[in-house]
Amino acid sequence: MDNREKVVVVRDLYKSFGDLDVLEGVDLDLHREENLVVLGRSGTGKSVLIKIMVGLLRQDSGTMQVLGKEVSKLPLKELNALRLKIGFSFQNSALYDSMTVRENMEFPLVRNVKNLTKKEISMRIEELLEAVGLPQSINQMPSELSGGQKKRIGVARTLVLNPEIMLYDEPTAGLDPITCVDINNLINEVRERYKTTSIVITHDLACAKQTGDRMAVLLDGKFKAMGTFEEVFPRAVDERIKSFYDYNFINS
C-alpha cells in the first residue's frame, strides 16, 4: 500500500464548455514533495485542470481535493487561504516592470502577511534571492534582467509566501538550452530546500526528464499515461505520445 501523504487527489473529474468536452474523467494522486510533470498538446486542458485546482473554475462533476479540502465546496475566505498555499510561477514571470526586484517581492508579502517588521521582510527577500542565486539583483529593475534571471526572480517571488505547492507554467519557454538546464536545476533545488510539492506544465521533454519524478500525459480529456519518464516515453505505444517524444530533443 502507498502510505505517502497525498497533497492533491483528483477523482473522475469532468469539465465541458458548451459542446466542448475538455476533461473527461481525470484521476490523479500527487504526493508530498513530488515533482509531477503534466504534458499535453495545446488545448488539451492543462490550464483548465490547474484553474479547477485553485478554484478559478468549477468542475461539472468529480472531485478535486487540495491539502485535504474539496476546492469546489470552500467558502471564499477558505479558498483564499488555500490559494496562499499554492504558488504560481507564471510563464512570463509576471514581474511589475515599474518596481525593483525588492519591491516586486515585498508586494505579495505586505499584502498578505500582517505584522511583519521591515527587518523580517528584508531578511526573507534576501534569503530567497540568495536561494535563486541572484542576491545582487535586489535593486535592479526587471528590464535590466535576462529572461533566465526574470524566471529566477519570478520563482523567488512565488516562494515569498511559503507555498506548499508550486505550479510552474512552462518554466523553460523562451530560454536557451543551457539556461533551461539552470532553471530545471532551480526547480529541483527549490523542492529540496523548501520541501515543496510541484506541478510542472511543460512541452519541453528535457525539462520533464530533469525535473519530473513522474510524467502525466493529458490526452482525450484524461491522463492517458502516467509514470516515470522511462516508463512513459521510450516505450510509448500510443502514436501521439510517441510523436511527442520523437519531436523533442533529449539532452541527456
Ligand X SMILES: Nc1ncnc2c1ncn2[C@@H]1O[C@H](COP(=O)(O)OP(=O)(O)OP(=O)(O)O)[C@@H](O)[C@H]1O
Give the interface with ligand X as residue ranges (CB under 6 A). Answer: 17, 20, 22, 40, 42-48
Question: Which amino acid, residue 29?
Answer: D
Closest CB 45 distance from ligand X, rounded Å:
4
C-alpha cell at 240: 501521439
Nearest to ligand X of 51, 102 (CB atom): 51
Nearest to ligand X of 14, 194 (CB atom): 14
**CA–CA distance, 71 with 113 (Å, rounded to integer):** 22
Closest CB 72 distance from ligand X, rounded Å:
16
Closest CB 218 distance from ligand X, rounded Å:
7
C-alpha cell at 22: 475538455
* Alpha carbon separation from 44 to 9, 12, 23, 138, 248 (Å, rounded): 20, 16, 8, 38, 18
Nearest to ligand X of 52, 101 (CB atom): 52
For residues 188 and 210, is the Cβ–Cβ distance under 8 A?
Answer: yes
C-alpha cell at 10: 483528483
Nearest to ligand X of 48, 82 (CB atom): 48
**CA–CA distance, 211 with 199 (Å, rounded to integer):** 10
Nearest to ligand X of 38, 95 (CB atom): 38
**CA–CA distance, 144 with 162 (Å, rounded to integer):** 27
Closest CB 50 distance from ligand X, rounded Å:
8
* Burial of 17 (C-beta count, 10 Å sphere; 0-12/13-18/19+): exposed
Closest CB 44 distance from ligand X, rounded Å:
4
**CA–CA distance, 227 with 194 (Å, rounded to integer):** 24
Closest CB 52 distance from ligand X, rounded Å:
10
According to DSSP, residue 123 is labeled H
Nearest to ligand X of 31, 51 (CB atom): 51
